[in-house]
Amino acid sequence: MKQHAILLTVLALSLTNSLLSAQVMKDTTFTFNQKQIHIQDSIDQINIRISSREGDSYKKVYEGIFSDGKSFERFNVVQDWGISIPFTKRKQKKHTLEAHWAGFGIGVLTLSDNRMHIGISPGFPIDRGKSTEITWNIIEGLLPIFGNSFGITSGFGLNWRNFHLEGNKHLLEVNDVTAAYPAPAGVTYKYSRLRMLHLTMPLLLEWQPLWAGKRRFYVTAGAVAGWNVNATYRVKYDVASGKEFNEVESRGLKTNPLTLDLIGQIGYNCISFYAKYAPVGVFQNGKGPEVHAASLGMMLHF
C-alpha cells in the first residue's frame, strides 16, 4: 500500500509534463502502477477506460462514457486495486491514515477577477444561482509523513464545471477572441451554458489527528492539476414555429487546456466541505475574459 501511495505521489508531481505532451492529442493511453488508462475524445463524447494488468494482458475495471445530457459508468473492480467502489465500507485500522480524495461531490460555482475579488467577473455575466460543479474522484492513495498524523494524498478524478450566463447573453469566438454578446434579435435564452470536463490529479497535505483512538477528523490543503478534455457551449430557446432549439453552439472557445486549483478541505468520517480557487484563468491569456473559477462544495467519500 505504501508503494502504491508513493507511485501516486510521483505521478501527481509529473502531471504537468504529461499533460503538456498529451493535450495536442484527441486520444491518449498511458500506464501507471500496472493500470492502463485510455482516454478517447470524440466530437460527441468522452470515453475513459481503466484496465488492470493480469499476467500478459489487461482486464477492464472501469469505463465511463460522458456526453451532453447523459453519462454511463461501470465498475468491475475490487478495492485492493486502488479504485474505490461507491457506497462500500472501507476497512480501516484505528491508528492508520486514510486518504480522503475518492468520492462524489457537488458545489456552487462562481468567478473572480484577476485580483481575487470573488463574485466579480468582468466580461462574463455568470448566473451564480445556476452555475455548479460536479466531482467524481476514482483513484486515491496516501503516503504517511511526519509520524502518523500527516500524509500526502494523490489520485485521479473527473470534474465538470457548468457556467451559466445571465442577461440573455451567449459566448462567441470572434477574431480568435471569446466574449459575451447579446442574444440575436427576437431570441430569449432559456439556457446559456459553458461546460468543461477536466481530468484531475491532486497533490494534497492531509492532517488526521488521533482523537479517542480514532482518526475521524481531517484537514486537507494543496493543489489539484487538471486537463480540460472537453469544453462545449450549449443554448436553448424557442423558435417562431413553436419548437424548441437546443444544441451545442460552439466548442473550445479558447478555454485553458490546463488548470490548477488551490483547495482547502475539512471533514469528519465520510463527509467533507471544500473551498477552491483557480489562479489559472478560465480562458487563455488574451483570448477571453480575465476570470478565474472559485467554488464551495461538499464531498461524500467512498
* pLDDT tens digits for range 231-254: 999 999 988 777 888 889 899 999
Q: What is the mean pLDDT of residues 77-100?
A: 55
Terminal C-alpha separation, the chain? 17
**What is the reported pLDDT for 159?**
96
Q: How many CB atoms lie within 10 A of CB 95?
A: 10
Residues 6+ apart with CB under 8 A from 290: 113, 114, 122, 123, 281, 283
**What is the reported pLDDT for 46?**
74
| Enclosing H/E stretch for 3 | helix 2-13
Query: Domain residue spans in the chain?
Result: 2-301
* pLDDT tens digits for range 185-199: 889 999 899 999 999
**What is the reported pLDDT for 21?**
43
**What is the reported pLDDT for 296?**
97
**From CA 109, how far away is CA 127, in angstroms rounded?**
9
Residue 6, SS3 per DSSP: helix
Would residue 181 be called left, alpha or beta, if left means φ above 0 and alpha means ψ between -120 and 50 degrees? beta
Of 23-27, 126-130, 160-164, where does mean pLDDT reach its minimum?
Answer: 23-27
**From CA 144, how far away is CA 96, in angstroms rounded?**
9
The answer to whether residues 259 and 278 touch, using CB atoms and an 8 Å cutoff, is: yes
pTM for the whole structure: 0.73
Would residue 78 be called left, alpha or beta, if left means φ above 0 and alpha means ψ between -120 and 50 degrees? beta
HSE of 139, CA atoms in CB hemisphere, 13 A: 30
Q: What is the mean pLDDT of residues 28-50?
A: 70
